[in-house]
C-alpha cells in the first residue's frame, strides 16, 4: 500500500505538458478527468479544485453574496477559463467578472479583476509565482492565494505587494470588491 501512495504522490507532482498548437488545444476534448491550462504551445495538466476544498469556495461565495458587487449582478465563477494573453489560458479556482463582462458577447476575452487560487502542497513555487506575474500583467488587481494545508491566506494587490494572514486576521478583495472581507478562521470554517 505504501508504494502505491508514493507512486500517486509522484504522479501528482510531475508536471504534464503536451506540445500542441492553440488551434488544436481549442478543439481538443480530453476525457482523462483533468483540466488543462495552455501556455505558449503546451497544454498543462491541472487537477482543478478538489472535493475536500469545496467548503472554502462555499464560504467565499456566501460572503460574496452580501457584497455590493453581487447586488450589481457581478459573479465569482469557479474554474473559469481566463486567457491572460493570446497564448496563455489559466483556470483560477475563482474569478470575478462584472455584469458587463458577463454580458459581453465580443470575441475579446475579459480579464477578471480578482482571482482566487487554492494552493496545494504539490503546486510548484515557480509556477505559482509565474501566475501572479501573468495575472497582474493581464490586468488582474487582486489575488488571494489560499493555503488549506497551512490555514493561511496571502493577498496580493500588486505583483510585489502582498500580505499574509492567519486565524483572526481580516483580509479583503480590495480594491475590486472591498466589502468582500472575512477572517482566515471564517474562510476555513466547516
Same domain, 20 and 104: no
Same domain, 102 and 125: yes
Rounded distance between C-alpha atoms, residue 18 and residue 106, angstroms = 29
Return the H-helix or E-strand segment holding 18: strand 17-19
pLDDT tens for residues 14-40? 689 999 999 999 999 999 989 999 999
Same domain, 10 and 73: no
Any idea what the Cα angle at residue 110 is, between residues 107 and 113, rounded to 5°?
175
Same domain, 2 and 87: no
Same domain, 39 and 56: no
Rounded distance between C-alpha atoms, residue 126 and residue 120, angstroms = 14
Nearest by Cα to 78 from 100, 63, 56: 56
User: What mean pLDDT value characterizes the chain?
Assistant: 92
Same domain, 40 and 107: no
Domain at 151, CATH number? 3.90.1570.10
Same domain, 24 and 55: no
DSSP 39: E
In this prediction, residue 49 carries a pLDDT of 82
Q: What is the dihedral of CA 60, 78, 159, 103, to 10 degrees?
A: -110
pLDDT at 186 over 60: yes
Backbone angles phi, psi at 22, to 5 degrees: -65, -40
What is the mean pLDDT of the segment spanning 91-119? 95
Q: Report the chain's C-alpha Rg in angstroms.
A: 17
Same domain, 37 and 85: no
Domain that holds residue 18: 1-47
List the beta bridge partners of residue 85.
88
pLDDT band at 187 (very low <50, low <70, confident <90, very high): very high
Instruction: Give, rounded to a whole angstrom, the gap between the first and last alpha carbons of the chain.
Output: 30
Q: How many domains does the chain contain in total?
A: 2
List the beta bridge partners of residue 173.
177
Same domain, 86 and 153: yes
What is the mean pLDDT of the segment spanning 137-146? 98
**Residues whose CB is less than 8 angstroms from the CB of residue 158 and which lie 6 or more positions away in sequence, other chains included:** 136
Same domain, 81 and 10: no
Selected residue with higher pLDDT from 8 and 34: 34
Same domain, 36 and 100: no
In this prediction, residue 48 carries a pLDDT of 80
In this prediction, residue 14 carries a pLDDT of 67
Rounded distance between C-alpha atoms, residue 93 and residue 102, angstroms = 17
Same domain, 16 and 106: no
- Tell which of 30, 47, 64 closes a domain: 47
List the beta bridge partners of residue 109.
none
For the record, the C-alpha cell of 53 comes out as 476544498
Give burial (CB, 10 Å; 0-12/13-18/19+) of 141: buried
Amino acid at each position: 500500500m505504501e508504494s502505491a501512495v508514493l507512486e500517486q504522490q509522484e504522479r501528482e507532482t510531475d508536471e504534464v505538458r503536451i506540445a500542441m498548437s492553440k488551434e488544436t488545444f481549442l478543439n481538443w476534448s480530453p476525457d482523462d478527468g483533468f483540466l488543462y491550462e495552455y501556455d505558449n504551445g503546451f497544454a498543462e495538466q491541472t487537477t482543478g479544485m478538489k472535493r475536500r476544498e469545496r467548503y472554502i469556495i462555499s464560504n467565499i461565495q456566501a460572503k460574496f453574496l452580501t457584497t455590493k458587487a453581487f447586488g450589481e449582478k457581478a459573479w465569482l465563477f469557479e474554474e473559469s477559463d481566463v486567457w491572460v494573453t493570446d497564448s496563455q489560458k489559466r483556470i483560477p479556482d475563482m474569478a470575478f467578472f462584472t455584469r458587463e463582462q458577463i454580458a459581453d458577447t465580443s470575441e475579446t476575452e475579459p480579464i477578471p479583476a480578482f482571482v482566487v487560487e487554492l494552493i496545494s502542497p504539490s503546486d510548484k513555487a515557480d509556477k505559482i509565482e509565474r501566475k501572479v506575474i501573468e495575472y497582474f500583467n493581464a490586468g488582474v488587481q487582486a489575488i488571494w492565494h489560499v493555503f488549506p494545508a497551512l490555514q493561511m491566506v496571502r493577498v496580493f494587490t500588486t505583483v510585489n505587494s502582498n500580505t499574509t494572514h492567519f486565524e483572526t486576521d481580516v483580509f479583503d478583495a480590495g480594491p475590486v470588491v472591498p466589502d468582500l472581507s472575512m477572517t482566515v478562521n471564517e474562510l476555513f470554517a466547516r
